[in-house]
A and B are shown apart, each in its own frame.
Chain A
Amino acid sequence: MIVVNTETIPGMRIVETRGVVQGNTVRAKHVGRDIAAGLKNVVGGELKGYTELLTEARRQSFERMIAQAQQLGANAVVNVRFATTAVTSGAAEMYAYGTAVVAQQGA
């Protein structure tokens, strides 16, 4: 599965469009992570726990989007975008969407 956030795939021709595919997830970290982040907020620096939270959420929504694309018989997803929403404190909703297409070798 080729996934890009551009409208085209270099060296490939989009022969068929299968429609918009999407995946979303709402994830949270356990309370220990939230407390650790609160403490880290005193000294400064990266909040690795929350970075991890976003990474996990992004991966999961991404996988769900790709699963949908596979169901539609696509071999690539183009113009992928991510959006996040604040659902509640310490949680992230990650939403991934793109256009599932069938691409063939050759420009």
Chain B
Amino acid sequence: MRAWGVVAALIGALALVAVWAPRAVAEGPIKVGFGMALTGGVAGNGKAALLAIQIWAEEVNKKGGLLGRKVELVYYDDQSKAATVPGIYTKLLDVDKVDLVVSGYGTNLIAPALPIVIERKLTFIGLFGLAVNEQFHYPHYFGIMPAGPSPKTDWSAGFFEIAGRQNPKPRTVALVGADAEYGQNALAGARENAKRHGLQVVYDKAYPPATVDFTPIVRAIQATNPDIVFVASYPPDSAGMLRAAHEVGLKPKLFGGGMVGLQYASLQTALGLMLEGVVNYDFWVPEPTLKFPGIEDFLKKYQERAKAAGVDPLGHYVPPWAYAYLQVLGQAVEATKSLDQQKIGEYIRTHEHDTLVGKIRFAPNGEWVKSRVLMVQFQNIENNSLKQFGEPGHRVVIYPDEWKSGTLIYPYAKAKR
């Protein structure tokens, strides 16, 4: 009889635990896990993205969190190395037991996480990955970069569209880019766009990532006398290419396109007047046509903390998107009132999301349903001051027409003073 009493007491205790445990768990924070490049080659963007994510988490927590629970960020430095990514995401999921995961910065660091994400059937938003889902076709991957449903070609579509609108229409093009993931993808898209616009490709070469001097490449391009030059380069190469072009006197009718780094304040202030007339891709610039609700408040908060964090002082390039990809995830969690990955993924796929980078709707392949890769032209550059790049009128949106904020100065030589 006494034994039955003990059993009954145990059952009672277990029942109490069963009743109280979910509530105890529910009151714990929602953990959002990710790897991020905090050291290594793309750490400049990774650290800036982290600051933006932290601002998002602080703001969400100030408003009471998600589903009434605080948000806790769990992150590790992926060192800008793809090899570290699978280990990081395994640890996040198995050891840290995070509730949600998002990607690190860039194609090379998103792709290695996808097999794990797919295996665990998670919803995954990628930060600045170019055509990452092209091989996987995973229905719950979403890319926050506005490259459009055909990212490779959409990336440079604006550059070639601008060229095609000129009279007389340019006839020849030189294509040059880094011999790496981004460069190869961007060049492949540029080749298709060149073909679509009937341009003859007179130079089409890739350069190795460790190239120090771009003068020989620029001279080779100059020797082919192209009407337009499309460049798909990484940040230090973009500076090297632009300096070499300036020194050699390369003046095609249109120059730029896919130069990564010209969106960073550090390179803008370093290159100053050399940027004048360059037409290059961008995702957000401080032009009147792109003043989405919340963006200015966010940038103000970011810029106040950027110096101490040692990151891009203006934060126009990656930070708004790093904030937005968590905004999308947070909105999906709130709307579905759940942490169920399938429900969250389904919601993101089928709804339009209001973010500080504008309204976002995803295509079936996880890319934006409509491209918003901007082509901006550097205009009215006076010197190397940082202030001008934080103001409108210096990176004028030329394409797409929907977001246009100024007129192209054509040809490039006319823009250069």
A and B interact = no
Binding site for B on A (CB under 8 A): none
